[in-house]
């Protein structure tokens, strides 16, 4: 999930699946090959746990990583050779035979397959070890990183500390005999895993009744105190303190560990924060507003950002899973009926995926609710893909009518588009988007399930299509005459558009349109302000402009790094932070270096804080184990937005060895757009805050440079 802290291995195991857990892209390929072979040999589906730092990570992968030797063992069951055969009839007695096969020879094949292949590996077999550490996937790499941060950077140092290491490629089932061999002679086994005691319980069961069985700790230590964190992200930085506690129990080790990082002074809470926000010209800036006193339901999609933005008129009282939008009203209506009308937001991609079932459920339940079907013609939250199985609006109205929706109004920014499309369902009305509030009032007065289809293409997707020449560029541009503007902010309040930006002048606060980010939605004109002027841009490409001659930079001698070089990037979502990380990583690979890292992706972070990590070394062997930059480890701190970079959580990656490169331009937050009284960030204070956490700092007005170079 992009939003909910969760683990998947318990669920997969509950379905009766063996579960593999890769920690890198290479392990995804290698374990994937084993998983396919295991499935064919046993007839079992094979689950794979993928955590965010793997799914959103970047890695250097050798093309030969999929060349693995797979051993498919022979299995005898009840005195005869066994091989999997499908039992297609799942009614008695065939279903009983299938159950017996699943819990008998099929699971037996899983166990012998795991034993026959190097899926679970003792990475470090220290003969006289006192401590064994068991971890799978990403958690194992975090353990190695945390040990390195404690001063146990190589195998010899770990052996010298009396530690044995077991890397699990399969976290379910646990290989009992391997676990018992691993635990033999140990005093303590430490299990490191995310969230709950899943592997820990299985390890404890495997070691039960073993002569001189070691004590098993993990989520709790031997005294029952919390040890490995069970909430939030499990990172190498979060494991340093628990590992120090365990290792320091041996007096001879306590003095050999690297000293704790001296805690830096606590940074004050910033008065301004950057939060995710709708793109300039996003349809949701207008479509998510509801009449005063209404109940507004949220769901999954970009429109869910209304839950992060305290904007009067669009606040939601509930959020549901994808496909459950509006179903909560079936239970709530008995308690709230007569108090207010319920509007439920739902994207067209969600509707095509599973949301249509919630609409049908409300029809069947006989409740009165208005679905606002936000028809944006792209799954913008994850990159602008087409909504699989989606229908054009006319076909959608006919489907909804056939399923019991009593009234439909389509509000569109370009109603004329429907002259070329098929006809609507009988009774469907087509209005301009400016009549949104009127349409909502009309639908709220109708009993039963009603639908308002708000048809306007995703602003980000429209921008992409215009750049590709697939839809025409809108020639009308909006500018503000600052001599007339009174800085009241009404245009920002009505449009909620990030391109309508406050601008401080010698005459006080004014407003201007940022032409570089404007997506020509024109909602700002709803303010009906005399300072607004529309102009027609000339057709064709812009005239060539004289560009300054770049300074001559002397070539520098370049040598591969001796260890790992760490870079941390911080900026605003939607401005290319992830792209820059990919460019830097690709450049390093082209120079023969090894890289890994992680990007903050998943849930849409447009206009919000986004970070990326990149670690570079001369070879894979020299690369630090974890793909995330740890506390005080960044060598280079690229601050594309000073407000995001000055956040204490991000500055934790900076230290005395860090050089920060900071863009000094101030980009308004969403709150500054819609609230004229909101205070903006103090650029000088932000830069000073970053400088206090770094060894050196280089400040550059990147936005001004971009305007000079690119217009």
Position 53 scores a pLDDT of 93
Break the chain into its structural domains and give their ranges.
9-116, 121-254, 284-462, 473-536, 565-710
| 431 within 8 A of 418, measured Cβ to Cβ | no
Position 678 scores a pLDDT of 87
Spatial distance between the Cα atoms of 102 and 314, rounded to a whole number of angstroms: 51
Position 187 scores a pLDDT of 96
Four-way CATH pick for 473-536: 3.30.70, 1.10.3470, 1.10.1670, 2.40.50: 3.30.70
Q: Return the CATH number of the domain spanning residue range 284-462.
A: 3.40.50.970
Here the tokens at position 433 are: 């988007």
- Write the DSSP symbol of residue 343: E
What pLDDT band is residue 548 in, cutting at 50, 70 and 90?
Answer: confident
Here the tokens at position 529 are: 């302000």
* Residue whose C-alpha is closest to residue 70's, from 101, 47, 40: 40
Position 262 scores a pLDDT of 74
Percent of the chain with pLDDT over 90: 74
Spatial distance between the Cα atoms of 29 and 56, rounded to a whole number of angstroms: 15
Mean pLDDT in residue range 598-609: 80
SS3 for 274?
coil
Could you tell me the pTM of the whole model?
Answer: 0.92
Q: Which CATH superfamily is domain 565-710 in?
A: Pyruvate-ferredoxin oxidoreductase, PFOR, domain III (3.40.920.10)
String of DSSP letters for 30-57:
HHHHHHHHHHHHH----EE---HHHHTE
What pLDDT band is residue 545 in, cutting at 50, 70 and 90?
Answer: confident
At residue 467, does pLDDT exceed 80? yes
| 70 within 8 A of 33, measured Cβ to Cβ | yes
For the chain, the average pLDDT equals: 92
Position 10 scores a pLDDT of 94
String of DSSP letters for 170-226:
EEES--HHHHHHHHTT-SEEEEE-SSSSHHHHHHHHHHTT-TTPPEEESSB-TTS-B
At residue 282, does pLDDT exceed 70? yes
* Residue whose C-alpha is closest to residue 47's, from 35, 63, 65, 29: 35
Position 6 scores a pLDDT of 85
Position 335 scores a pLDDT of 85
String of DSSP letters for 492-549:
HHHH--TTEEEEEETTEEEEEE-TTT-----GGGGG--TTEEEEEPPSSSPPP---PP
* Residue whose C-alpha is closest to residue 599's, from 623, 581, 587: 581
At residue 298, does pLDDT exceed 70? yes
Ranges 242-251, 260-269, 533-542: which has the least confidence: 260-269
Position 602 scores a pLDDT of 63
Position 603 scores a pLDDT of 62
* Residue whose C-alpha is closest to residue 585's, from 558, 616, 562, 612: 616
Spatial distance between the Cα atoms of 50 and 137, rounded to a whole number of angstroms: 9
At residue 337, does pLDDT exceed 70? no
Range with the largest mean pLDDT of 28-37, 325-334, 479-488: 28-37
Spatial distance between the Cα atoms of 113 and 169, rounded to a whole number of angstroms: 13
What pLDDT band is residue 154 in, cutting at 50, 70 and 90?
Answer: very high
pLDDT, tens digit, for every residue of 104-148? 999 999 999 999 999 999 999 999 999 999 999 999 999 999 999
Position 524 scores a pLDDT of 92
Four-way CATH pick for 121-254: 3.50.30.30, 3.40.50.920, 1.10.4080.10, 3.90.550.10: 3.40.50.920
* Residue whose C-alpha is closest to residue 612's, from 636, 577, 564, 650: 577
Position 540 scores a pLDDT of 73
At residue 604, does pLDDT exceed 80? no
Q: Do domains 121-254 and 284-462 have the same CATH topology?
A: yes
Ranges 48-62, 262-276, 330-344, 428-442: which has the least confidence: 262-276
At residue 454, does pLDDT exceed 90? yes
Position 36 scores a pLDDT of 98
* Residue whose C-alpha is closest to residue 597's, from 558, 560, 636: 636
Spatial distance between the Cα atoms of 666 and 585, rounded to a whole number of angstroms: 27
Q: How far is CA 407 from CA 214, 254, 403, 449, in A?
A: 69, 73, 12, 8
Mean pLDDT in residue range 195-222: 94
What pLDDT band is residue 270 in, cutting at 50, 70 and 90?
Answer: confident
């Amino acid at each position: 999930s992009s939003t909910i802290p969760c683990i998947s291995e318990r669920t997969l195991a509950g379905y009766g699946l063996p579960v593999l857990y890769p920690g890198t892209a290479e392990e995804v390929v290698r374990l994937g090959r084993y998983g396919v072979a295991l499935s064919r040999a046993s007839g079992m589906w094979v689950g794979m746990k993928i955590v965010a730092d793997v799914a959103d990570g970047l890695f250097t992968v050798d093309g030969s990583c999929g060349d693995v030797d797979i051993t498919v063992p022979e299995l005898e069951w009840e005195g005869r050779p066994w091989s999997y055969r499908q039992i297609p009839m799942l009614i008695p007695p065939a279903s009983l035979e299938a159950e017996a096969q699943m819990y008998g020879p099929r699971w037996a094949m899983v166990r012998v397959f795991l034993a026959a292949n190097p899926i679970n590996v003792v990475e470090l077999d220290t003969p006289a070890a006192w401590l064994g550490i068991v971890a799978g996937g990403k958690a194992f790499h975090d353990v190695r990183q945390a040990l390195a941060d404690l001063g146990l950077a190589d195998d010899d140092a770990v052996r010298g500390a009396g530690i044995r290491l077991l890397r699990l490629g399969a976290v379910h089932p646990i290989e009992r005999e391997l676990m018992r061999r691993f635990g033999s002679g140990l005093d303590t086994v430490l299990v490191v895993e995310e969230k709950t005691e899943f592997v820990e319980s299985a390890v404890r069961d495997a070691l039960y009744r073993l002569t001189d069985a070691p004590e098993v700790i993990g989520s709790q230590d031997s005294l029952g105190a919390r040890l490995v964190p069970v909430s939030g992200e499990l990172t190498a930085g979060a494991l340093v303190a628990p590992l120090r506690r365990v290792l320091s129990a041996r007096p001879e080790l306590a003095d050999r560990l690297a000293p704790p990082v001296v805690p830096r002074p606590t940074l004050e809470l910033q008065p301004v924060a950057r939060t995710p926000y709708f793109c300039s010209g996003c349809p949701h800036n207008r479509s998510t507003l509801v009449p005063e006193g209404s109940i507004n339901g949220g769901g999954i999609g970009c429109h869910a950002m209304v839950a992060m933005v305290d904007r009067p008129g669009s606040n939601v009282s509930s959020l549901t899973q994808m496909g459950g939008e509006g179903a909560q009203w079936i239970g709530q209506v008995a308690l709230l009926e007569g108090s207010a009308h319920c509007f439920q937001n739902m994207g067209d991609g969600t509707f095509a995926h599973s949301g249509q079932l919630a609409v049908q459920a409300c029809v069947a339940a006989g409740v009165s609710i208005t679905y606002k079907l936000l028809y944006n013609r792209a799954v913008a939250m994850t990159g602008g893909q087409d909504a699989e199985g989606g229908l054009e609006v006319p076909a959608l109205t006919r489907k909804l009518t056939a399923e019991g929706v009593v009234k439909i109004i389509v509000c569109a920014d370009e109603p004329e588009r429907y002259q070329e499309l098929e006809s609507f369902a009988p009774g469907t009305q087509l209005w301009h988007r400016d009549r949104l509030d009127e349409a909502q009032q009309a639908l709220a007065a109708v009993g039963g399930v009603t639908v308002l289809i708000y048809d306007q293409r995703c602003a980000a997707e429209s921008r992409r299509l215009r750049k590709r020449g697939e839809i025409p560029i809108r020639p009308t541009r909006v500018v503000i005459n600052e001599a007339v503007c009174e800085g009241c902010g009404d245009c920002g309040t009505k449009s909620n558009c990030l391109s309508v930006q406050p601008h401080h002048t010698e005459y006080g606060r004014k407003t201007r349109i940022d032409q570089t980010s404007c997506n020509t939605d024109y909602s700002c004109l709803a303010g009906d302000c005399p300072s607004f002027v529309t102009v027609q841009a000339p057709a064709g490409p812009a005239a060539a402009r004289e560009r300054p001659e770049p300074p001559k930079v002397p070539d520098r001698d370049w040598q591969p790094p001796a260890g790992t070089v760490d870079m941390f990037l911080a900026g605003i979502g939607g401005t290319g932070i992830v792209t820059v990380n990919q460019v830097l990583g690709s450049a390093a690979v082209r120079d023969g270096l090894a890289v890994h890292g992680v990007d903050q992706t998943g849930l849409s972070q447009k206009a919000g804080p986004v970070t990326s990590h990149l670690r570079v070394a001369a070879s894979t062997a020299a690369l630090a184990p974890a793909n995330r930059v740890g506390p005080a480890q960044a060598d280079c701190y690229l601050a594309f937005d000073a407000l995001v970079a000055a956040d204490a959580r991000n500055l934790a990656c900076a230290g005395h060895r860090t050089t920060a490169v900071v863009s000094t331009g101030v980009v308004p937050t969403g709150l500054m757009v819609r609230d004229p009284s909101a205070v903006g960030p103090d650029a000088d204070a932000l830069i000073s805050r970053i400088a206090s956490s770094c060894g050196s700092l280089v400040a550059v007005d990147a936005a001004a440079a971009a305007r000079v170079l690119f217009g």
